[in-house]
Structure 1
């Protein structure tokens, strides 16, 4: 059943991308018409300048968000949008950043709802101010209750279940799910899904994802304390690469698999030091969230009919197909 779901997800994503790629407009009459035609031919919108604020819960130095920003910037460049990006891992500070965007009277807000309760009031303020808000990456179970117009990302619980089923196929018996930010709904959902989909034993380990030496020592200590762990599951590429070092330090024979990609993680899959990765396509999430606000403002469009999220994953990246991704990873877009 999960295979069918992933296939539907990828099909929907391709169709959405194709539709959005054609989005442009031109004005009529004389020189302006010629300029509009030229803009359309170049794949750029000739619509009035608008400002979009993107507010995320990104931690400093997390390369995942570089991919999100690149996708958002590509859409902004195409759509004649001024993109204002800000982030803070503290939910309270993130809410303050959203309030700043409201005060600046932006035309749209794209945000991640890693801790939905902290954002509920400020999203309501954006609605009252007439500013459309779309969600992406985190908050798939909460975006409608929060009053967001659309959502772009993957269903993390389903992705976790698919991950667990794959571990069964690989013969794993005891998994350690490493969460780098306690209480972050997307990360917690991944481990919950893993426990549901995996027939073996699953332990959860919390680490401080902003302190890699601490991450390394905490995973190492856990592996030394329990030699029955044969699978380490991480929820971000930097954590996976650190976990590989922990295996060596602990003298463990466990294997590492992860959610999310970056350029170095792709190389690790190619080398076999990381078994596989689940790609939620962060570049696509950033692109679609910004492009959707342009479509809504200029043509009243919204994806999913306001009822369904637009899913960008999960897609499994293994040694068998990683070379197809490597080309784009080297450009910093996967």
Structure 2
């Protein structure tokens, strides 16, 4: 069902307020980190006993997105005088085993992603039964509270997808691919579904093996060679955007590329116009907020968000505003 003009204006207004709030929150968190920088070099300035916080994600090897998440988490841990432990596995069952290992270590808090929620449900229940608070990030906003997590930090993937669909339409694409680099990841599927709602043209999902970048390139290349009408490519992670650009060159395609998420190299590509846009969910803020929430909960009983997801995006990055983020991307925090 199409929304009326007034409703669309209202929705845009609410999203603008949300983004303003996110940016304000990011500045506040940055100010806290900066003010505590010198103290944290000597062991952190967090009050109370030293906490041990484990983060277990669904990251695959070499995914630079999670490097940024970890930097945010490490900054918060240094400020809060907490020990930070990180592990990851894209296989849902193995990720659950890593969560169980954290429970066995009797950590003080767990940060987890729900990319494959069914695989994590039981082990997260065991964590909460052991009185270990759980915070979710990035994936699984819709199941987070139901599974017992006290808070969730991330973007609404459907809304982010809708933003990406509008950007694809803005750059003139009519027949596009949505490149899904991890099958079964509900967040990635929500992004493509959201983009289809607002794109207005044809958008087809293309599944690739994200842990094998040569295979990603060959799959995109083959699709572009088989369908010369494809004029847009939407990737769901920054490393895959550069690969899509290479695939388009190899296939002799003029397809424009947009993506989700950012890294240092992507800023330069957006500035040059090689990649037309990025949908940024601010991963640094996700890692920082999750660790800080567990510290606040343990030391002062605080819960950020009041039981609702704390949105960290989407923020749209184009050639018009990429330069303003370049310094942050250079230091690996955007």
| Aligned mates of 1:175, 1:188 — CA distance in 2 | 15
Query: How far has the Cα of 1:163 moved from its partner?
Result: 1.2
Equivalent residues of 1:75, 1:291 under 8 A apart: yes
Q: Which residue of 2 aligns with 1:93?
A: 94
- TM alignment of 1:1-334, pairs within 5 A: 1=8, 2-17=11-26, 20=29, 44-306=45-307, 308-334=308-334
Query: How far has the Cα of 1:165 moved from its partner?
Result: 1.7
Q: Aligned pair in 2 of structure 1 residues 39, 215: CA closer, same or farther (>3 Å)?
A: closer
Q: Which runs of 5+ in 1 are unaligned?
A: 25-35
Q: What does the per-residue CA deviation read over 1:228-274, in whole Å, with 9 as the maximum and x for residues that have no partner?
A: 11100000111100000001000001100000001111111011110
| Aligned mates of 1:144, 1:8 — CA distance in 2 | 24
Q: Aligned pair in 2 of structure 1 residues 269, 17: CA closer, same or farther (>3 Å)?
A: closer
| Aligned mates of 1:11, 1:324 — CA distance in 2 | 16
Q: Aligned pair in 2 of structure 1 residues 39, 245: CA closer, same or farther (>3 Å)?
A: closer
Equivalent residues of 1:23, 1:45 under 8 A apart: no
| Aligned mates of 2:221, 2:320 — CA distance in 1 | 29
Which secondary structure does the structure 2 equivalent of 1:10 belong to?
helix
Q: What does the per-residue CA deviation read over 1:163-184, in whole Å, with 9 as the maximum and x for residues that have no partner?
A: 1122222322111000000110
| Aligned mates of 2:98, 2:321 — CA distance in 1 | 39
Which secondary structure does the structure 1 equivalent of 2:259 belong to?
strand
| Aligned mates of 2:118, 2:83 — CA distance in 1 | 28
Q: Aligned pair in 2 of structure 1 residues 326, 148: CA closer, same or farther (>3 Å)?
A: same
Q: Which runs of 5+ in 2 are unaligned?
A: 1-7
- When normalised by structure 1's length, the TM-score is 0.92
Which secondary structure does the structure 2 equivalent of 1:203 belong to?
strand
Q: Aligned pair in 2 of structure 1 residues 86, 163: CA closer, same or farther (>3 Å)?
A: same
Query: How far has the Cα of 1:13 moved from its partner?
Result: 2.0
| Aligned mates of 1:23, 1:63 — CA distance in 2 | 25
| Aligned mates of 1:74, 1:217 — CA distance in 2 | 38
Equivalent residues of 2:181, 2:210 under 8 A apart: yes
Aligned residues: 320
Which secondary structure does the structure 2 equivalent of 1:303 belong to?
coil
RMSD of Structure 2 on Structure 1 (CA): 1.9
Equivalent residues of 1:161, 1:195 under 8 A apart: yes
Q: Which residue of 2 aligns with 1:30?
A: none
